[in-house]
């Protein structure tokens, strides 16, 4: 069984939804989108912002990966949920709307072959994708598909956070995605009218009205098909049947930083020795496939709250009912919050050119996926390291396309990474001791007030540190020996195959990666369509050291 299309998009996540939508604007195109997971139909699990932990707890919409034993995290296997549903990880993520620092992209542009990836070249596409509550200006967009909502921050703990940050010497930044990233800020979220605004909601589903997109859910791609070094189509399994589909123009792989390198290797594209180990015929040797894996570590600093004002009340049976009804009827209340409404970008070193740490602040003491909850009122600072030096990998467990890949992040392998985390914990504790928290701050839950030494903080990190869920960089752009694609996402040494997802980032950006991934997809969509890219917009932005 086979069919023919102009383009085949593998994966309907943050990048795949954008590519399919933009390609469908050309009347001559017919696009097949293949998604391994189900449709994103849900009354609340994929719609209510505050329910974000629910799809992380099961494999219904989630690949539910685990890392290999992490040697610098006490040999723990770390849980890595990734979206397996229409919309991909944008359907199950924390909806945090951040772009990263302009210097991230200027750093990309200094790499060979990536001159068109400076912030000036990326800014027009950041503006194109969004409708911002700030309105249209030199930095922000006013009529794009993704809604960027500024939270009200009505809970008193959010207000205490913003005041305490300034008392601790951090500037207040009015628009963290505008002129200045560094400082304390209200954290925008990708929601519209109290509901999640995923990539599928913003792009894919509206575009299907054109009749040019054929979306197949529960269709697992098992390999990319080639004629020599030209990608011609895909083989996939749907409803127990093995099928093939062919692309007249190109195949676009948007599986994400874990699934994309896995599928390339299963198709004979990757490091020669690894493919030989699993009996896979080598089609094209690319040693960087699956290497250079990067992520932001998540290290919690938690406190008891002396007043009953946290979101804990919404976790009790009565609280869940009240929260759910208010959201269901009015799309308001705690149910419309994604929990993280405030944050900080800050530096642990005076000589840093840009912030190397990030806070997400939550008015509740609970693990990211909701599995570890402190009984009683609390609040917590999530510490994320923006540019870790530690590198990991994604490798095959076997030649079976249905076997999960092997994943190792090597979090905290680098000594400087460990020092940055120690410094960030101490800065965070100073933040929490400010007068604005005096009426709320109880005893420290984690790491615990008695844990102050380098050795103690390191031990806590090994035992408890988790992920911020930002895997990236496993098929990076560039021209060096480990580069997999060029600046247009085209795979080196092949034709007819393009990769567009977080895997092609050369280095992880200083922020949550969903919006940067959408930006990359918008930018490459113009290239894939043969359109002239939007002209660069060289605006001035804040620099710590001029």
Per-residue pLDDT tens over the stretch 187-238: 999 999 999 999 999 999 999 999 999 999 999 999 999 999 999 999 999 9
Q: Could you read off the pLDDT of 10-48 as tens digits, one per residue? A: 999 999 999 999 999 999 999 999 999 999 999 899 999
Which residue shows structure tokens 């990309």?
A: 108
Q: Is 121 a catalytic residue?
A: no
Q: Residue 1's pLDDT is what? A: 64
Please state, in angstroms and rounded to a whole number, the distance separating the CA atoms of residues 351 and 79: 34
Q: Quote the pLDDT of residue 374.
A: 85
Neighbours of 530 (CB within 10 A): 7
CA distance 170 to 153: 18
Token readout for 148 is: 């960027």
Would you kindly state where each structural domain of the chain is located, as residue ranges? 152-186+297-385+412-464
Q: Residue by residue, what is the 3-state secondary structure of 161-202?
A: HHHHHHHCCCCECCCCCCCCCCEEEECCECEECCEECCHHHH
Partnered with residue 186 across adjacent β-strands are 342
Kindly tell me if the per-residue pLDDT of 373 is higher than 90: no
User: Taking residues 511-518, what's their average pLDDT?
Assistant: 98
What residues contact residue 205 under an 8 Å CB cut-off, 6+ apart? none
Do strands 241-253 and 2-10 pair parallel, antiparallel, or not at all (unpaired)?
A: parallel
> ∠ CA(214), CA(219), CA(224), 5° rounding?
90
SS3 291: strand
- CA distances for 2 relative to 127, 266, 409, angstroms: 39, 20, 38
Q: Which of 278, 285, 470, 545 is catalytic?
A: 470
Question: How is domain 152-186+297-385+412-464 classified at the architecture level of CATH?
Answer: 2-Layer Sandwich (3.30)
Alpha helices in 231-349 (DSSP H): 256-266, 272-277, 317-330
User: What pLDDT is recorded for position 370?
Assistant: 63
DSSP state of 465: -
Residues 401-415: tens digit of each pLDDT: 999 999 999 999 999
* Cβ contacts of 119 within 8 Å, gap of 6 or more: 102, 103, 104, 105, 106, 541
Mean pLDDT, residues 509-534? 98
Cα(81)–Cα(341) distance, integer angstroms: 22
Q: Are 70 and 409 in contact (CB under 8 A)?
A: yes
The region that residue 90 occupies, defined by phi over 0 for left and psi between -120 and 50 for alpha, beta otherwise, is alpha
How confident is the model over 136-153, as a mean pLDDT? 98
Query: At what angle are helices 454-464 and 415-432 packed, to 10 degrees?
Result: 100
List, for residues 425-480, the tens digit of each pLDDT value.
Answer: 999 999 999 999 999 999 999 999 999 999 999 999 999 999 999 999 999 999 99
């Amino acid at each position: 069984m086979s069919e023919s299309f102009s383009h085949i998009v593998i994966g309907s996540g943050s990048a795949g939804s954008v590519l399919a939508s933009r390609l469908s604007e050309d009347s001559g195109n017919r696009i097949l989108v293949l998604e391994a997971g189900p449709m994103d139909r849900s009354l609340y699990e994929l719609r209510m912002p505050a329910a974000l932990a629910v799809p992380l707890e099961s494999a219904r919409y989630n690949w539910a990966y685990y890392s290999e034993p992490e040697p610098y995290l006490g040999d723990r296997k770390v849980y890595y949920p990734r979206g397996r549903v229409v919309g991909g990880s944008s359907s199950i993520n924390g909806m945090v709307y951040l772009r990263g620092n302009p210097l991230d992209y200027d750093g990309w542009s200094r790499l060979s072959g990536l001159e068109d990836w400076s912030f000036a070249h990326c800014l027009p596409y950041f503006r194109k994708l969004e409708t911002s509550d700030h309105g249209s200006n030199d930095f922000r967009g006013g009529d794009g598909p993704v809604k960027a909502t500024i939270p009200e921050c009505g809970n008193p703990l959010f207000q205490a956070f913003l005041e305490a940050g300034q008392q601790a010497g951090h500037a207040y930044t009015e628009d963290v995605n505008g002129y200045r990233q560094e400082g304390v800020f209200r954290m925008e979220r990708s929601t519209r009218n109290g509901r999640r605004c995923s990539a599928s909601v913003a792009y894919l589903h509206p575009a299907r009205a054109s009749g040019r997109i054929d979306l197949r859910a529960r269709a697992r791609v098992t390999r990319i098909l080639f004629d020599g070094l030209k990608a011609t189509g895909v083989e996939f399994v749907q409803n127990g049947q093995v099928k093939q589909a062919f692309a007249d123009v190109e195949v676009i792989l948007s599986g994400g930083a874990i699934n994309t390198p896995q599928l390339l290797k299963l198709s004979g594209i990757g490091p020669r020795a690894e493919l030989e180990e699993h009996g896979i015929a080598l089609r094209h040797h690319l040693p960087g496939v699956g290497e250079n894996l990067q992520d932001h570590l998540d290290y919690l600093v938690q406190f008891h709250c002396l007043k009953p004002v946290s979101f804990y009340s919404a976790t009790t049976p009565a609280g869940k009912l009240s929260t759910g009804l208010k959201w269901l009827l009015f799309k308001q209340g705690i149910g419309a919050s994604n929990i993280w409404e405030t944050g900080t970008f800050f530096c642990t070193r005076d000589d840093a050119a840009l912030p190397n740490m990030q806070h997400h602040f939550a008015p509740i003491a609970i693990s990211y996926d909701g599995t570890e909850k402190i009984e009683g009122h609390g609040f917590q600072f999530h510490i994320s390291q923006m540019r870790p030096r530690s590198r990991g990998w994604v490798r095959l467990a076997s030649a079976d396309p249905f076997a999960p890949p092997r994943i190792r992040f090597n979090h905290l392998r680098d000594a400087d990474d460990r020092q940055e985390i120690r410094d960030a914990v101490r800065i965070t504790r100073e933040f929490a001791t400010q007068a604005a928290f005096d009426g709320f701050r109880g005893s420290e839950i984690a790491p615990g007030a008695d844990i102050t030494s380098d050795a103690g903080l390191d031990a806590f990190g090994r035992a408890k540190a988790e992920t911020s869920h930002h895997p990236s960089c496993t098929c990076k752009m560039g021209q060096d020996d480990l580069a997999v694609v060029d600046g247009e996402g085209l795979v080196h040494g092949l034709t007819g195959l393009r990769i567009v997802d977080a895997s092609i980032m050369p280095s992880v950006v200083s922020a949550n990666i969903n919006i940067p991934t959408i930006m990359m997809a918008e930018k490459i969509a113009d290239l894939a369509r043969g359109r002239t890219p939007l002209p660069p917009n060289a605006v001035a932005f804040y620099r710590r050291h001029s």
